[in-house]
Structures are given as C-alpha cells and as structure tokens.
Amino acid sequence: MEQARKLDPTKMKDWEVAAEAEKTMKTVYQLAEELGLEKEELLPYGHYLGKLDYQKIMKRLGSKPDGKYIEVTAITPTPLGEGKTTTTMGLVEGLGALGKKVSGAIRQPSGGPTFNIKGSAAGGGISQCVPLTDFSLGLTGDIDAITNAHNLAMVAMTARIQHEFNYGDKTLEKKHLKRLNIDPRNPAIGWAIDFSAQALREIIMGLGGKMDGFMMKSGFQITVSSELMAILSVASDLKDMRERISKMVVAYNKKKEPVTCGDLEVDGAMTAIMVKTLNPTLMQTVEGQPVFVHAGPFANIAIGQSSILADKLGLKVSDYHVTESGFGADIGFEKFWNLKCRYSGLTPNASVIVATIRALKMHGGGPKVVPGKPLDRAYTEENTELVKKGLENLLKHIETVKKSGIPAVVCINHFYTDTDKEIEVVREAVKKAGARVAVSKHWQFGGEGAKELAEQVIAACEEKPDFKFLYTADTPHKDRIARIATEVYGADGVTYSPLAEAKLKKVQEDPNLAPMGTCMVKTQLSLSHDPELKGAPKGWILPIQDVLIYQGAEFIVPVAGGIKLMPGTASDPAFRRIDVDVETGKVTGLF
C-alpha cells in the first residue's frame, strides 16, 4: 500500500500505474488468507489470480452474519467519463484506509469496449483492479466459456434444422431424435462473439450444398448480452444454473411454440462448458484490498450487474462489501433494485451515485465532446451556470435511488480543473435533495483521497433503509414498463410497436412467463431512448420496439428505441495502441 501511494497518475498512464503497482502486489494466497479462506476454497490461476469455490465457502460461512452492502451507480454517462469503476475501487481503498475489512465486486470487461473506445474498465489512477493485463484480456475464461456455450446451442439448433430437412421420420427415429419442426424463419437467438462487430449483426448462413447446413438468416450479438451471462448473474448455485440453461429458448417451431436447450438435449454440454464460470475470480485493488470479478457489463443491453454469487460471498467475508452496477441509475441501479435484489433477497445499506463537474456541464448544455479531440474550455474553466443546469440529471438519479428507500451518497469524482465554487454548487443541491455528498480524490491519491467518501458511506450504512421495490411481482409487465418509463426515466408515457404489443399480450397470458422479471434495454446515453437528449428531458414518449423472452434467466426484455445487441467498432479503436514488448512479453497500451 505504501508503494501504491508513491505512484503519481498525473505523470503516468493508467497501464503504467498498474504495471508499477503489480511489482509489489499481494499473491492470491495472501489475499485468500486475509479473507479467512481455507486452502481448498482457493483455486489458483497462477500467483496473482484465483477462482473461489463458492459452494464450499458458503457451506462453511453461510450462517455468518452479512456485512454492510453498498451499491455504486452514476449519473447518465457522457464521453467525458464519470469514473464509476474507478470510484468503486477508490471506495474499497478508502474503507481499507479507515481500517475496515472490505471487499469489492466488479464485472469482467468485454473485449468489445476493451479493443474499441471505452477501454478495459479496470478503474484508473491509483484506484484500479490489478493485474490489468489479465483482467483485460480474458481473465479466467468466463466470457470465452459463455461464448462457446452460447454457440453450441446454435450449433445444436442449426444442425437439427438441417437434419430434419434432409431426413425422414424413420431415419430420425433410428438416431433417437424427435422431430422438433423448428421454424428457420423464427429463431430466438443468433451467434455470439465478444467483439464490437457491426458487420455481423445480420448474416445469411448455410450457403453451399446440402451438407453445408440450412440456408437461413441469422446474426451475432456481443457475448455479454447473451442470456447465458444473465443466467450467470442471477444463478444461485450449479443446480440452478443447469435448470436455467435447460429452459433457455433458442428457436420456435412451426406452431410458434418455444424450442429450448433441453429440447435439443444440449443443456448438459452447455453446463459442462460453464461449470467453472460459477466461481468468482479473486483479484485486488492497487492498494491490496480483495476484489471479486464476476459476470459482465452492458446494463443497456443486459442486466449489467456484478453477480449475486460474488455479492453473497463478499458479504460473508467482509464487514463492508461494495458492488458495481452498469451505467446510470436509470438502467444500472434500476436493474439492481428491481431485478438483482429481488432474486438475491439482499437489502442494500447504501447507494453511491458518481458524478463529475465536467459531465454535469455537458448535461447542462455544454459543447459537444468528441473522443480524441481537445476539450472545449467550458470543461476546464469555472462555469457554475453550466453546472447548475446539469444538476437536473443528477437530481433525477438521486430521486430514483431515494424512491427505493436506500440512503444515497453522491460522490463528486474530483478532477484538478474543478473549482471550489463549482463543487459548492453541487454540495448545496445534493443536500437540499436529501442525500449525502462527498468530494473524492481517489484517482490521484487512492484510499487517502477517498476517506471523506468512505466516512459518508459508513454513516449512510448506519441509517435503517426503508427498502421497497418499484412494483410487485404480480404487476403486469405493461404496468411495470410504464412505471419505469415515467417514474425512473421521466417519460410522459409508452408506445408499443405491433410486434411488441403482440409479444407482451402472449407473455401476460402465460402463467409461466407473467411472473418473470422485467429487464429493460435502452440507451445508456440519455434518460430517454434518444442518445442526443441530455440532462433530464421532458415531454417525450418511450417507444418499445420489441420484447425478448429470456426463459432461462426468467427475464422479459422490452427493447426501447433502435438499440442493437451488437455494438460497433469506431474509426479510432483502442486496439491501435495495444502492443507487446517482445523482449519481456509485457502488454502495453491498455487503458
């Protein structure tokens, strides 16, 4: 930790800070020992990484009282970045600096943003998760396993279509196959790959002869949006994961009935590929506190939460456990609140909303920010009027968190260009809104810089939360969507395409589907469905274009606007700057 405090992120790139910190980081054996774990509960992947045997640990510690449960969310994202993962790591370091036994949980980064614009999502400055290269490039293989399991389901489905088309019933019977009559025009899923590959959004496959498959339209989604990632996020144990995979719908037959992984008899093999994914990966902050990495990002097109398993584990081995949700409170926190907490049965003690002065200025109508181009002076010089105008976005997110009954703490993630007057404008508004507020300099100073934030979070955890869901489990999905749209997003109402209307009617009439959770798909760049609308837009209607059914995860997924499950790669992607030192084998350029 002392070595970490000597690092100066103002003169070093994030990957350089990580590289220096890695020279003195703890071994995974030290981390496990400090957590009070037994030898057989740690599954090492080298000296500095390891998976944790969740079922063994919970069998031993299941009756132990839980620690305090803290969630981290943010205002609506901007290209300037709010530093949510950085703040998560900084808060863990800050609680550690105050002598608390603490752990964190973050999501494994997707290859899509790592090699594109956003970067790795390990945090930044002194508040990072290390080792950075392992974290960024595959880690312990969870996303690869999900990719393979997802695509095995597609192999099973497309092969069955081909064979049923080519064989008569007697031949199928000899092979012990039941004719499923899959409709090739109505698949439920496509293929998965963990890159932002817009060219694969829509494809035609099966070109060639009779032995080359059945020609049909298909496409790819990014792996972290796969239903299998959602299943990993909410599964309670291996048995539960196996049952959920069995129920996952991959296609529909010609009577429009669902065809599942169980029907294709591929569920067992998919579970076999994913067995090891059930165990969270143990890592550490730059200052040596334990971090559990489990499940994936993208709360705009997925649940986007650290897993329930990682959180339950952290609450047993720590006095304070900090977990991260994806993007802003309108989608990340809303799903944490109404989905994750409903599935886990856990009650949070506090929620941290991350904001920056720069991002508030953009929400206040500041000049457009283009990645890679110099910032306008409006973002680097004092402008309290822009900050005041941008506060409506922050205040809307505070209102959302307070609606849940969880105490809210606003973290002003400090930049050196922030002025005292700008910070005071935010402090006064937040206090008036009934939330706690702290300025945190964790990016530059790690735990020492996060002490004010940690103290406010500790105080919030002493309050008694009056936790309540936005809707009950028996609320119809249309009513849930309306409540989320109007009370969380600020819409005036909701419209439905004929396709979405028909699917929701079918869902509500099916007693097996109606009780499922509602997992919204919406742009992260605005409270609305339109990425161009900043602040807290007024006078708009949320358009629901489609409804997906994730029968295994038990999610009904309304899709708002024109959002895609496969992002695109930009013209100046991060992979242009990533390289390897051929003398040492060290990876450079990750951020």
Active site residues: 84, 86, 107, 118, 299, 327, 415, 443
Alpha carbons 194 and 222: distance in angstroms, whole number? 5
Distances, alpha carbon 210 to alpha carbons 104, 185, 207, in Å? 53, 18, 9
Tell me if 75 sits within 8 A of 304, measured CB to CB: no
Q: Look-up: residue for tokens 């009056």? A: 466
Q: Look-up: residue for tokens 């298909």? A: 218
Please provide residue 260's backbone torsions phi and psi, each rounded to the nearest 5 degrees.
-105, 170
**Residue-wise DSSP of 249-297:** EEEEETTS-EEETTTTT-HHHHHHHHGGGGSPEEEEETTS-EEEE-S--
Element (H, E) at 358: helix 357-363
Alpha carbons 265 and 249: distance in angstroms, whole number? 12
Q: How many CB atoms lie within 10 A of CB 431?
A: 12
Tell me if 307 sits within 8 A of 465, measured CB to CB: no
Tell me if 92 sits within 8 A of 102, measured CB to CB: yes
Tell me if 355 sits within 8 A of 426, measured CB to CB: yes
Q: Which residues, at least 6 apart from 88, have a Cβ–Cβ distance to it below 8 Å?
A: 72, 104, 106, 123, 322, 323, 324
Nearest to 439 by CA among 461, 458, 418: 418
Q: Look-up: residue for tokens 């025009």? A: 185
Whether the CA torsion 436, 437, 443, 444 is positive or negative: it is negative
Structure tokens belonging to residue 23: 């020279």
Whether the CA torsion 264, 266, 271, 277 is positive or negative: it is negative
Tell me if 202 sits within 8 A of 547, measured CB to CB: no
Q: How many CB atoms lie within 10 A of CB 272?
A: 13
